[in-house]
Amino acid sequence: MISVIICTYNRDKYIYNVLKSIAQGSLSTDYYEIVLVDNNCTDNTRSEVERFCADFPAVNLSYHVETNQGLSNARNRGIKESKGDILVYVDDDATVNPEYLKTYADWFEKHPETDAAGGPIIPHYETGREPRWMTYFIKRLLTGYLYFGNKPGPFPGDNYPGGGNAAYRSSVFRKVGLYNVELGRNGDNLGGGEEKDIFDKMKREGMRFSYLPDAILYHSIPAYKLEPDYFNRLTKGIGQSERARTLRIGKASYRKRKLSELKKWCATILLWCFYLITFRPQRGNMLIRFRRNVTLGLLGKL
């Protein structure tokens, strides 16, 4: 049994479509449930979910309200309410391809050594085009973009599944614990780090996670996510979350993260020079702004 966990906060514009894309997939409804966690929505989320249930009565959907605000709280509630041995997190502002759930179901059945898996995350810009200042690194940050080719296998390097398109054996959370509620988004606060925290714990336990190119999630990117205010809040939140995450592990971990930030500054400056001499200064300037905001958050200067 697969439990599809969708945590949502005021996304009534998108919630019906993500549910519909799951229901119209190739995996029989006998093999999955949807666990929807409403994290204190004040919009029409409930009525949109009720509309979906009326249109797709064969889908087993349970609706839960998590009153403790924050994405990590909602994700933990989803774990507690799930009945499946495979837990799949799907973003509430996305859609998935028809083979999405079947890809996960088949892989975990055939590969008992796999503890977690994830697939591509492809941005869908509601403006109709990608901004000229977008770079690979900022694209991953702003849109969750993830793509490592068309062959399944281990995630390359230090990469891990994106939080909005990730599947775990339920046993993972019994071994490493639940999401850290001090990390992650909380209402309009754009914190993060809770996924990295889980995967770091998994690595220390020797767990394995796989990249599955046929489990595709299409992530909607509205215009406001491309505005300077959102970009600044998101990048500062990343730095603040990294500070909280590493200090929680210990001072040595925090010092190591600051050293890593220095190395990233060196790479950022080199990229800025490259974009400057190739007449694309907008891209370089956005990378500098990104690095500056993360560093300020990491050092607690905000």
Residues 33 and 179 placed together within one structural domain of the fold: yes
Q: What pLDDT shows up at residue 196?
A: 86
Q: Say if residue 219 is in the same domain as residue 289.
A: no
For 112, which DSSP code? T
Is the same domain home to 77 and 182? yes
Q: Which tokens sit at 273?
A: 């020079």
Query: Is the same domain home to 139 and 87?
Result: yes
Of 200, 226, 252, the residue at which a domain comes to its end is 226
- Final residue belonging to a domain, choices 226, 245, 266: 226
d(CA 127, CA 282): 19
Same domain? For 206 and 241 the reply is no
What does the pLDDT read at residue 225? Answer: 93
- Across 144-165, average pLDDT: 94
Any idea what the CATH number is for the domain that residue 221 is in?
3.90.550.10
Q: What is the mean pLDDT of the chain?
A: 94
What is the pLDDT confidence band of residue 248, given thresholds at 50, 70 and 90?
Answer: confident
Q: Is the pLDDT of residue 302 over 70?
A: no
Compute the distance between CA of residue 113 and CA of residue 123 in angstroms, rounded to an integer.
30
Q: Is the CB of residue 215 less than 8 Å from the CB of residue 103?
A: yes
Average pLDDT for residues 244-270, to the nearest whole number? Answer: 94
Residues 15, 92: contact at Cβ < 8 Å? Answer: yes
127, 105 Cβ separation under 8 angstroms? no
- pLDDT per residue over 159-184, tens digit each? 999 989 999 999 999 999 999 988 87
**What pLDDT, on a 0 to 100 scale, did the predictor assign at position 183?**
83
Mean pLDDT of 278-285: 95
Same-domain check for residues 168 and 151: yes
181 and 254 part of one domain: no
Q: Are residues 103 and 132 in the same domain?
A: yes
Sequence-distant (6+) residues with CB within 8 A of 129 are none
185 pLDDT band, cuts 50/70/90, is: confident
* Banded pLDDT at 151 (limits 50, 70, 90): very high
Query: Of 244, 139, 258, whose CA–CA distance to 189 is shortest?
Result: 244
Lowest average pLDDT, out of 19-28, 77-86, 134-143, 261-270, goes to 134-143
Strands (E), 212-300: 217-221
Q: Are 6 and 37 in contact (CB under 8 A)?
A: yes
Structure confidence at residue 194 (pLDDT): 87
> How many CB atoms lie under 10 A from the CB of residue 76?
22
Give the structural domain span for 273. 232-298
pLDDT in tens, 57-110: 999 999 999 999 999 999 999 999 999 999 999 999 999 999 999 999 999 999
Separation of alpha carbons 266 and 137, rounded Å = 15
- Count Cα neighbours of 185 within 13 Å in the Cβ-side half-sphere: 15
φ, ψ (nearest 5 deg) of residue 21: -65, -35
pLDDT score at 163: 87
145 Cβ contact list (under 8 Å, min separation 6)? 121, 122, 123, 136, 139, 219
Coil vs helix vs strand at 38: strand
Same domain, 79 and 26: yes
- If 0-12 CB within 10 Å is exposed, 13-18 middle and 19+ buried, where does residue 285 land? middle
Domain boundary among 226, 260, 282: 226
Query: Are 237 and 294 in contact, with CB atoms under 8 Å apart?
Result: no
pTM assigned to the model? 0.91
What is the pLDDT, as a whole number, of residue 61? Answer: 98
Among 193, 219, 218, 202, smallest CA distance to 154 is for 202
Question: In total, how many domains does the chain have?
Answer: 2
160 and 71, same domain (yes or no): yes
Same domain membership, residue 190 and residue 54: yes
Q: Are residues 57 and 140 in the same domain?
A: yes
Terminal Cα distance for the chain, rounded:
45
- pLDDT tens sequence across 197-238: 999 999 999 999 999 999 999 999 999 999 999 999 999 998
What six digits make up the tokens of 230?
């959102």
